[in-house]
Amino acid sequence: MRVIAGSAKGRSLKAVPGKNTRPTTDKVKEAIFSMIGPFFDGGLVLDLFAGTGGLGIESLSRGMDRGVFVDLDGGSIEVIKQNVQAAGVSENAEIYRTEALRAVKALAKRGLQFQLVFLDPPYRMKEMDTLISELAERNLLAPRAKIVVEHDAEHIYPEVMDGFVQLRRSQYGDTAVTIYRFGASEVEPGEEMNEANN
């Protein structure tokens, strides 16, 4: 794994030992950022099931100001710490070992608002639409924030969610990526709402 573009382009990232963590492949990562960026003019990113931290680190490399990384697994937390150091973004990163919903509640108390959120949970977890709604209810999403859900391709997330519009669903083998935008009810010119298979 590596950082694909931006200030940390080419830096190698470590994987989490064992089979419990499924890092986003470089191919899928590149596709995600071509859909949501590819570069950013500041803002906060939340990597909520961070694993290796690869998605949040890529966002910082491409222009996000600050990233919050959350994972429940101690091994993942150690790898994230090493990876943000290797990518030269440790001063822009906050790393927490806790459960996702607990992290959401704690972040809400700080009054933070995120422009970009990554949700890449274990594939057995299929309730990310509920968690997305929780983020909105707790005022953690900036206007027009984008939420990227990486999930099992067999699972279909709703096209319509209150307060969100689904911009795209793309499939890469047994992995799918569904992208939502917060705070608007329809797709605007230049945005897509379609399904792509690769």
Structural domains in the chain, sorted by start: 27-165+174-188 (3.40.50.150)
**Containing H/E element for 128?**
helix 128-137
Query: Does the structure show a pLDDT above 70 at 136?
Result: yes
The answer to whether the beta carbons of residues 80 and 71 sit under 8 Å apart is yes
CA dist., res. 156 & res. 133, Å (int)? 16
Given this model, what pLDDT does residue 188 score? Answer: 57
CA dist., res. 110 & res. 99, Å (int)? 17
Q: Write out pLDDT tens, residues 148-177.
A: 999 999 999 998 898 999 999 999 999 999
Mean pLDDT to the nearest integer, 106-132: 94
Mean pLDDT to the nearest integer, 33-58: 96
Q: What is the pTM of this model?
A: 0.92
For residue 132, give both structure tokens.
């997305």
Question: Which residue type sits at 104?
Answer: V
| Cα angle 138-140-144, degrees, rounded to a multiple of 5 | 125
Q: Write out pLDDT tens, residues 61-81.
A: 999 999 999 999 999 999 999
Q: Which of the 8 DSSP states describes residue 2?
A: B
